[in-house]
Amino acid sequence: MSAGDAGQDAHFDLSPDFSFMMWNPVESLFSEALKPFIIPLAGLLVGGVMMQMSSVSTVGKLVLYFGAQSFMNIYMGWVMRTSVTVPAGTELDNGTVLEVNLTGCPAGFALTAMQQVISFIVFCCLFAAVYPTPYRYMPKRLNSAFEVFAVIVFGCVFALNIALNNFSLGYMSIGL
């Protein structure tokens, strides 16, 4: 390459490691495992703050819901991608030996059942903790068979939605 051509091709020899772009505050503050949780945690924080202001409390509930759902989806995806199902060195039925760990947990419905049980336990603890306070939560009494039926159908559809979300997380990555 002649001296006259060096100017037009010089940008190909530059590395972004030696520029102002090398400083990444997110990378310096958080590990690779925590990076996907930044947006959901921000949603939880912003939604919680917005709920304290009466003028934007409804929007705050939506932001809080977005943060919570995003957090749970990313967490479940992480659980399903990082758990070692079959370790390297295992001999298979056909005689071949695995060279790498098989990761993933194709158990979306079982994880959903665990999520539902844990959520119920957390709700019961919260219910018991706030019962003696002025912030007591009292569920609405169901007065008709249709209301009972509607709650049961809604609960089943909601649980199925979560189960299908968890099932799909085993097959696609949503990491940032």
Q: Which tops the pLDDT comparison, 160 or 169?
A: 160
pLDDT of residue 137: 85
| Residues paired with 91 in a beta bridge | 97
Q: Angle of helix 57-82 relative to helix 108-130, nearest 10 degrees?
A: 140
pLDDT of residue 127: 92
pLDDT tens for 129-144 read: 999 999 888 888 999 9
**What is the phi/psi pair of residue 133, to 5°?**
-100, 170
pLDDT of residue 13: 47
**What is the phi/psi pair of residue 102, to 5°?**
-90, 120
Q: Other C-beta atoms within 10 Å of 79: how many?
A: 16
Q: Which tops the pLDDT comparison, 92 or 121?
A: 121
Going by C-alpha positions, the residue among 130, 77, 143 that lies closest to residue 106 is: 77
